[in-house]
Chain A
Amino acid sequence: MENHVETPVTRKALVIGGGVAGIQAALDIADAGHEVFLVEKSPSIGGHMIQYSEVFPTLDCPQCILTPKMVEVGQHPKIKLLTYSEVAQVSGQMGHFTVRVKRKSPYVDWEKCTGCGECANVCPVEVYSEFERGIAKQKAIYKPFGQAVPAVFTVDKKGIAPCRAACPLQVNAQGYVALISQGRFTEALNLVREKTPFPGICGRICTHPCESQCLRGEMDMPLAINDLKRFVADQEKEPAADLTIASEREGKVAIIGAGPAGLMAAYELRKMGYQVTIFEALPAAGGMMRAGIPEYRLPRDILEKEVSLIQKMGVAIRFDTTIGEQVTLAALKDEFNTVFIAAGAHVSAKLGVEGEDLAGVKHGIDFLREVNLNGKSEVGERVVVVGGGNAAIDAARTAYRLGAKTVSIVYRRSREEMPAIPGEVIEAEGEGIKISYLTDPVRIVGENGRVRGIECLRTKLGPPDESGRRRSIPVEGSEFFLEADMIIPAIGQVPDVAFLGSEIRIGLKPGNRLEVDDTTLQTTADGIFAGGDVVTGPNTVIDALAAGRRAAISIDRYLRGESLTIDREDAGLPVSELKVDMAGISQQRRTDMPAVPPAQRTGNFREVALGLSEEEAIREAGRCLACPGCSECRSCEKVCEPKVIDHQMVERYEELEVGAIVLATGFELIPREAIAEFEPDPDILEGIQFERILCPGGSTAGVVMRPSDQKIPREVVFISCVGSRDPEHGVPYCSRVCCMYLVKMAMLHKHAVPDGQAYIFYMDVRSTGKGYEEFVQRAVEEDGVLYLRGRVSRVFRDGEKLKVCGVDTLSGKNVDISCDLVVLGLAMVSDPAGQELAQRLGIAIDEYGFITEVHPKLNPLETSVPGIYVAGTAQGPRDIPDSVAQASGAASKVLALFSTGEPVSGGVGPR
């Protein structure tokens, strides 16, 4: 086949893969004077070889022999190193390839990074280390290993943590949890404060949607994120919130209601520099947080401390001022530039049954408001609360504290449908409050105008209604009577909209709720915004806070005359698909806060939940799986002197023109799960993991310790052919290097643990390289390595030891060994990324993903695509000298092409 081209070949080469083969090929081509691009997917070159402790049969240290070559690559004027990059596309043909390379974002400007490592010192997040193969962790901003080339830092960031994305306020839960795990409480609190000025309040009463999304929940229990937030808030004795106001601005804002929505809007607007006045009907601030939520859940000093910050910023609150009475909405609209209505929902819904007006009937929110503002209220001896929401539970527990002898709750659906916070329900039960589910009140029975009891019906559950909860259906003839002298109906609240007046028309929705635009929160009246319960009906504090911020953003835009909708700052965070490998993580109980014993809760309103201790908080925070890697707490930014960290950096693409390509994409180990009869256990290691433990420069500084308990493993069993020569469970081929690397590790173990004993289960010893057989003999004769001829059927934990059940077919005996550590000689398989790349490039691969050479005997360096050559384990299992020799061979193919200046045809057979 003739192959003519018009133009001479591009005398530049691309080498893909920065392991020892790729390094050798790049250096050979560059030394011949041609430009080389070396693309590597991880942040540093070095490949697997740099992970090893020592290499057979010379026992050279790879750090000593490979590092000089790596440095040479880094400094070579003809080599352009593109690490943390992937080849996305190749077009053209031999002599003229165009290559599109994806440069992944390291979130660090590598040109300017000095590699000082200050960032990693302060990074609170620890993640899986690919280099250490899980034996040790690394920081979320990391340099893979000491001798890395280039010697720069990379941020491991896979997305946004689900906890943070789930928060309506986008509080960086992962970030503050990580900081708490390091004992850095002030920094943690500051991070919370970036998104909410109310950490102490939120840490107590937030319904924590973050925890429902926590990935840890998939393996045991979600992190106690909310309790941790409360913990850091409580650590602060004197509030040190940053109350700086941006320069004062024109614009006066009236806010109706000093509840969570109103306070949050006031905080945000005041920070921007606007003049804010809040009108509050009650004599104190807090809204439902004050009038509805009892003190034993939210102590008043905490509430006051955080609310007063808003006043300290210069927000005026006019108490005891009811709109529609002292001042009208229309008047506000005239005096202020905009109005934000956050009046809440403070009117109790009525049961609508006979007897609801009898003496002794007090509606839930009225009862709570009275107790919460005055500290007391009359209660009966036998109290029945009707309802299943938080107000019902709060009312019941409050009645208990005020001295009621018996308190019970009737709820018409079952526990599953109950909207109250489950933890609160459990606490209520602990206080002796009896809850009757599937019970619906029919009428309140009185005597002489006073309550005598309540008649109820049993119900059963039908199909779900529009709220998604199952409908309750009365059971005929199931009436029964509950004696009571006080009935508290607490079945919900609705907004009171009488204050709106008639001058300004504002659209309403069913349930007296104000109609607003979902994005901007503007009502049907221009310049009047609304949010919180007055819009949604009874809802959570966190949603009200989020509404306050949303309104503040709209109001700012409104006052500046900008679009209310385009590019809003409160667009939600993207939800990232994150997966965590839970295999190596052991279950760990969630740390519960201690609580005041139920017997000590009557007659007082002491806070029930007592908070975590410092030790508990640190332990609990340590349960975080750091699922996206970096938390974006931005601690690193603060210490980086050259200011090179950029958390917004995005990936980019580069185009290269080359004449030839060398594929050196390397290998991986077969997943251990393929051989399922070996129990997952921290002390059953894959070969590369044990290399890291043996390595003098590794995390254990060369002290050989086993992962489970850091004890020195004396008896170590090495198992050959795990997944290889096993077509039924793994791959049929021989993995070629395992015989040698296992005996090498057995020898190194003996050198490190002189009184130790190594055993190797083997099928055949394949020691075919120069000096290899002698090496094996030395291990047997000098280091006492015991070879046992046969496979192992299973390995399981037996107390402190691992039990290995194998066979020695030479003696015809089954052999059991109780040992401290097991090392698996897992089969080499093709690197999944390399395999995928080969497929994308249209290069022929075999059924195991290894690159198929043009001729197995006489043309081992050329792939099925002319101009693309292969080197190293991308072609099949082989050891280091073979890989290096092949790399030089591939380089010479490239050089031959470059020196003739015109493409030579590929083909089978020698030329």
Chain B
Amino acid sequence: MRIEISGQTFQSDFVKKVAEISGESVLSCNQCGKCSAGCPMAFAMDWLPNQIIRLVQLGIEEDIAKSKTPWICASCLTCSVRCPRGVDLGRLMEAVRLLTLRRNIDYVAAAKIPPDALGEMPQIALVGGFRKHTA
């Protein structure tokens, strides 16, 4: 599938909001891919972390919105500490998630998790998981 890009696509509101919420400069990324190479959750992602940044750089909102990647990210920050350009990818992923969550769309429903499993989990898992994945 071909996409058309223009000044409008990569200067869209979406791109601006990601930059604003994350406080990161997406243009600093030179796509070396070190974030992806070291990402412990990459095996479960549909787009690699560096590709998510690339999609932001190009302003391709649809693919990002459909991607599982930001929801698989565990905010472990391995990418952030190894990024040669000092881009905190963890913050970018958070911004992408928040753009969905702030529209009151949850990624996970508490009701669907078996109560046994919930009861067993440490509080930090519950509080952390719901804070990252629900509005």
Contact = CB atoms under 8 A, between A and B. Distances in A.
Q: Do A and B assemble together?
A: yes
Interface of A: 677, 721, 725-730, 763, 789-794, 805-809, 812-815
A807 B36 contact: yes
A807 to B, nearest CB: 4
Interface residues of B, number: 22
Interface string B84-98: 111000000000000
A763 B51 CA distance: 15
A243 B109 CA distance: 95
Contacts of B86: 727-728
B34 A809 contact: no
A799 to B, nearest CB: 21
Contact of A807 (B43, B50, B84, B85): B50
B30 interface: yes
A793 B84 contact: no
21 contacts: A677-B82, A725-B84, A726-B84, A727-B84, A728-B83, A763-B30, A790-B33, A790-B36, A790-B37, A791-B84, A792-B34, A792-B37, A793-B35, A794-B37, A805-B37, A805-B38, A806-B33, A809-B31, A809-B48, A812-B51, A814-B39
- Among B42, B43, B48, chain A packs the most CB atoms within 10 A around the CB of B48
Contacts of A809: 31-33, 36, 48, 50-51
Given A807-B48, A809-B50, A812-B51, A791 B85 contact: no
Contacts of B85: 726-728
B43 to A, nearest CB: 8
Contacts of A730: 84
Contact of B42 (A677, A721, A725, A814): A814
Nearest to A730: B84
A763 B50 CA distance: 13
A625 B20 CA distance: 56
B32 A791 contact: yes
Contacts of A727: 84-86
Contacts of A807: 33-34, 36-37, 48, 50
Contact of B38 (A721, A726, A794): A794
- Among A730, A806, A809, chain B packs the most CB atoms within 10 A around the CB of A809
Q: Which 7 A-B pairs have the closest CB atoms?
A: A793-B38, A790-B33, A726-B84, A793-B37, A807-B33, A807-B37, A791-B34
Nearest to A808: B33
A728 B36 contact: no
B42 to A, nearest CB: 5
Given A807-B50, A814-B48, A729 B84 contact: yes
Interface string B11-40: 000000000000000000011111111110
A721 B84 CA distance: 10
Contacts of B84: 721, 725-730, 791
Contacts of B43: 814
B82 A790 contact: no
Contacts of A677: 38, 82
A459 to B, nearest CB: 49
A363 to B, nearest CB: 67
Given A727-B86, A789-B33, 12 more contacts: A721-B84, A728-B84, A730-B84, A763-B32, A791-B32, A793-B38, A793-B39, A793-B78, A805-B38, A807-B50, A809-B32, A814-B37
Nearest to A728: B86
Contacts of A721: 32, 84
A791 B37 contact: yes
B51 to A, nearest CB: 6
Nearest to A790: B33
A721 B33 CA distance: 13
A814 B32 contact: no
Interface string B43-63: 100011011000000000000
Nearest to A793: B38
A877 B30 CA distance: 21
Contacts of A793: 34-35, 37-39, 78, 82
